[in-house]
Structure 1
Amino acid sequence: MTDTALTIRTALVVPTRPRTLPVRLAWTALAVVIVVAFWDLGIDWSKLASMPPDMAHYLSLMFAHPDWSKLPEALYQTWRSVAMAWTGALLGVVLSTLLGIPAAQGVGPLWVRLPLRAFFAVIRAVPEVVIAIIILTVTGLTPFTGALALAIGGIGTHAKWTYETIESVPHGTAEAVRAAGGNVMEVARWGLWPAASPELMSLALYRFEINVRTSAILGLIGVGGIGDMLTGYTQYREWDTVGVLIIVVIVVTMTIDAVSGRIRRRIMEGVRARDVDRSS
């Protein structure tokens, strides 16, 4: 074929025009959903103008003269919330790891993976507050109820993180263990866990950070902790005490996030350093 014929043939090839109708329909549907959502909320737009001065007024009531005499009780209730979060994270991470590893592709058979993943999806669809309301009929309004709700609610997300992490690690060692006659537990323990454990430990700390925030929300339904105390003083409109509680929550949460984030970085930096040593 000559160069002229090739040029003519290339010029005749016209790229297909991209279909814009599905994209337009998707954007139209999204716009309709947004409009209907705002319309259904019954928002009084006339009150938006008065919102900034009202917020400034209540913030001044909270933080202009905080009642520091409530600080010891606030610290104690915050400790109960942190203990609730830690217990829930510990239970949830253990259960999530035990259930998430068999749900990973290449570890458990299909008839095990599919029911487990469906179970995780169902749990992810239920908020921790709803789980706490269900279990409090048995355990009562105690911090243990909050810990159980955090543990059960965390299984859906953390188990998903677990099997996704297992699926992302190199499977060469796992195949070697399987070729040597290892069963599913031995493959997971010796072939997959050493490579996945640093990231799983990092995710476990992140789960604890999430639980610290969620534990304050669970306190709003009366299971104890700083959220329970915050609800009580807000209902009685004791804004000077509410300001102290908010300060304590912010300081403790930021401190836990900073410490946990530093530990997670050290874990992952150690993994990268070991990888560099092996490659060199």
Structure 2
Amino acid sequence: MTRLDPGVDPRPVAASADAGAGPAAASAVAPAVAPRAFAPLALPPRPSRLWPTLWAILAGLVFLVAASGLKISWAELPALPGQVLHYLELMFASPNWEKLPRALFETWRSISMAWIGAILCVVISIPLGMLAANSVGPLWLRVILRGLFAVIRAVPEVIIALVLLTVTGLTPFTGALALGIAGIGTQGKWVYESVESVQDGAAEAVRAAGGTTAAVTRWALWPAVAPALLSFALYRFEINIRTSAVLGFVGAGGIGSMLSNYTNYRQWDTVGMLLIVVVIATMLMDAISGAIRRRIMNGRRA
């Protein structure tokens, strides 16, 4: 009988002895391992579609009520595309280019009106907008300025022009004032939102150095938001160019006045020429303004 050493485990010897017996013997010696039972995963509850469905139904009801109140003649809708094509043919089949010099002069008037309105808007809205920012102006001043911006945004440019007509008369200056005042609401909101989106690192550094609120605004906030504000100013100029044509319909001068007059007299060939001039001038000014905005935001490209 072989004496076993108490410090030696006999199980490795048995395993090595069975190693040459093949896979069948190994499987017989190895203990059977029961497969682990996994609990079924609980699926998340299906999101409720009640509120989206109710909102969709409410929007549909509002649309139906609005459509029923307009008294639309639905029987005339199939003939609408043919009528549009008829008037497009009257305007653009053979445009009347005899009034082109005057149209160019009135277009330049509209562009000048838009430019003066944009400058007036920017000069007023930038300081007021910065005072309306959370980190610059006091609470009572911010509430007043933001309320003023909201009121101005709620009034269309045409309504402002109609109010100014009683004071300044039927002149292009009326249109420039209307564009400048109407743009203060939107431009002022852009200014204080841009200031509030600036990182606090530079402002905190100026305050840590003993700077006042004016110093923080001048040396921390203004350098960070100046490119965006200049880009917004050019974008306001683009908007004013398109709006100035609409203001001409209420007597503010420019190319819109010519469009209104020749439309009333049903001179569609001249109206077509005016529309061509307006579209080309607007696209040209948009391209120039867009190039300047990209240069301001992205810098000079290699």
TM-score, with length taken from structure 1? 0.90
Q: Does the 8 Å contact 1:150/1:211 carry over to 2?
A: yes
1:207 Cα shift? 0.4
2:260 aligned with 1:240: no
The equivalent residue for 1:81 is 110
Identity %: 60
Question: Structure 1 CA distance, aligned partners of 2:141 and 2:234?
Answer: 28
Larger radius of gyration: 2
2:280 aligned with 1:251: yes
2:162 aligned with 1:127: no
- Over the aligned positions, Cα root-mean-square deviation in angstroms equals 1.8
Question: Structure 1 CA distance, aligned partners of 2:235 and 2:163?
Answer: 26
1:15 Cα shift? 4.1
Question: Structure 2 CA distance, aligned partners of 1:21 and 1:56?
Answer: 45
SS of the equivalent of 1:66 reads coil
Q: Does the 8 Å contact 1:62/1:240 carry over to 2?
A: yes
2:119 aligned with 1:90: yes
1:262 Cα shift? 1.2
2:233 aligned with 1:191: no
2:165 aligned with 1:165: no
The equivalent residue for 1:278 is none
The equivalent residue for 2:209 is 180
Question: Structure 2 CA distance, aligned partners of 1:183 and 1:131?
Answer: 38
2:138 aligned with 1:113: no
Q: Does the 8 Å contact 1:171/1:192 carry over to 2?
A: no
2:130 aligned with 1:101: yes
Aligned length: 266
Q: Structure 1: which 5+ runs fail to align?
A: 274-280
1:171 Cα shift? 2.2
2:178 maps to a residue whose letter is A
SS of the equivalent of 2:231 reads helix
The equivalent residue for 1:204 is 233
2:71 maps to a residue whose letter is G
1:22 Cα shift? 2.2
SS of the equivalent of 2:187 reads helix
Pairing partner for 1:152 from 157, 181, 185: 181
Question: Structure 1 CA distance, aligned partners of 2:123 and 2:204?
Answer: 25
Question: Structure 2 CA distance, aligned partners of 1:11 and 1:236?
Answer: 76
Q: Structure 2: which 5+ runs fail to align?
A: 1-35
1:16 Cα shift? 5.1
2:264 aligned with 1:223: no
Question: Structure 2 CA distance, aligned partners of 1:109 and 1:222?
Answer: 41
TM-score, with length taken from structure 2? 0.83
Question: Structure 2 CA distance, aligned partners of 1:128 and 1:19?
Answer: 44
The equivalent residue for 2:291 is 262
**Deviation string, structure 1 residues 116-175 (Cα, Å, up to 9, x no partner):** 111111111110101111111111111111111111110111111111111112221112
SS of the equivalent of 1:68 reads coil
SS of the equivalent of 2:292 reads helix
